[in-house]
Amino acid sequence: MTRQGAHNAVWATALATKLENRTARVSVIGLGYVGLSLAMELAKAGFEVRGVDLDLERVSLLNQGQSYLVDVSTEALKPMVASRRLTASVDFADAASSDALIICVPTPLRKSKEPDISFILSAVESLLPHLRPGQLLILESTTYPGTTEEVVQPKLEAHGLVIGHDCFLAFSPERVDPGNKRFTTANIPKVVGGVTPSCTRLAAALYRQVTSSVFEVSSPRVAETAKLLENTFRSVNIALANELAFACRKIGVDPWEVIDAAATKPFGFMPFYPGPGIGGHCIPVDPLYLSWKVRLTGYEAQFIALADQINRAMPEHVVALVGDALNERGRAVKGSSVLVLGVTYKPDVNDVRESPALEILEMLERKGASVSYADPFTPQLALGSTKLSAVDATPETIAAADCVVILTNHSSFDYGVIAERATLVVDTRNALKAHRRAGSSSIVTL
């Protein structure tokens, strides 16, 4: 081995030792659902963790030991902050003293439905002045295949770092499922793909300290694509369930009962369910990152496009169901009071990103309905230029509405009371399954 090669090996060996004995200092860039959950697990494992986020309110709350996420309790956060094992800042300069840096920033879509990796670019540019030899940089933000090697790697190399020698770069897709009590950061297997074998080994060494299983792949591009496949799979199957709901309405069959019947097969079938649309940061976005990338090669991913089209048609379908149900009772949408139950994109979380409820509320408002909403996780909501405050889902507010629309089936809602007191319900989640009566027209489903 040359003197230069030996020196390069020293960087990897020293970093591996720090990671394995948990004396490495770790910076987590972005303290949302992904970043804060990961930072907590790293801190609990004994690492000294510095979180970086440009949101001053988040940073202030975290440094006070106050959690702003459903999945991270204040009780669990406080001792980590009190011991200084976990702190937060808006200053990227902390990166200079960190041994590992993990980027967990958002990757939304532009209005043109093209990838927007500006948050990744901004994070990397902010880190560059503070990077030094001997560090591990991991990108967790969901992105299109090639981002790690085609976008991040050249920036590091232009800074004078040599990937796989004195700097180590990998991609490991986040797999956080907000609100899921069974599968968490600590027990969801981690996929890791490094630019070089040493990059993969070091990234895997870090994640093995905080997760139950690590699966190493041959490159960042494989890891990036695997993440997109996971959520494309969900998008396509949800679209199939939504199309089933359309078809079953035409032939007079209950789609929920059909799915329950099919789900009794112990092999070859996995149940997915229809709903008011797709929401959250992943399912509406990730498949389009994949289709955009392959479109650059001249191939059109038609299956992805069709699934997206079906799923994005659901909010309009829900509004049509509300209009039809009111019409059957001699009422128009205009002037009717509509109470929406649940505005977050999934049950028992406080995340409204890409939630179909927002589009449905806006459409109902444009049609002249008097809209209100109840959601214990979202006390206030911006609806265009209108600011709404949540109401309580009391028997009185339910009974007073001309139509109640269940968009998110939070566990705290009393569905027995809803079925009993509401004069009309459009149930997009089959939440009132146990309360539907044969021949009753007061509950309308997808």
Between CA 235 and CA 288 the distance in angstroms is: 10
Is 248 one of the annotated active-site residues of the chain? no
Q: Which of 104, 167, 282, 403 is catalytic?
A: 282
Q: In Å, what is the CA distance from 90 to each residue of 126, 307, 341?
A: 11, 39, 36
The angle that helices 286-295 and 302-312 make with each other, rounded to 10 degrees, is 140
Cβ neighbours around 302 below 10 Å, total: 9
Three-state SS string over the chain comes to CCHHHHHHHHHHHHHHHHHHCCCCEEEEECCCHHHHHHHHHHHHCCCEEEEECCCHHHHHHHHCCCCCCCCCCHHHHHHHHHCCCEEEECCHHHHHHCCEEEECCCCCECCCCCECCHHHHHHHHHHHHHCCCCEEEEECCCCCCCHHHHHHHHHHHHCCCCECCCEEEEECCCCCCCCCCCCCCCCCCEEEEECCHHHHHHHHHHHCCCCCCEEECCCHHHHHHHHHHHHHHHHHHHHHHHHHHHHHHHHCCCHHHHHHHHCCCCCCCCCCCCCCCCCCCCCCCHHHHHHHHHHCCCCCCHHHHHHHHHHHCHHHHHHHHHHHHHHCCCCCCCCCEEEEECCCCCCCCCCCCCCHHHHHHHHHHHCCCEEEEECCCCCEEEECCEEEECCCCCHHHHHHCCEEEECCCCCCCCHHHHHHHCCCEEECCCCCHHHCCCCCCCEEEC
Question: Integer distance in angstroms from the first to the last C-alpha of the chain?
Answer: 67
Active site residues: 282
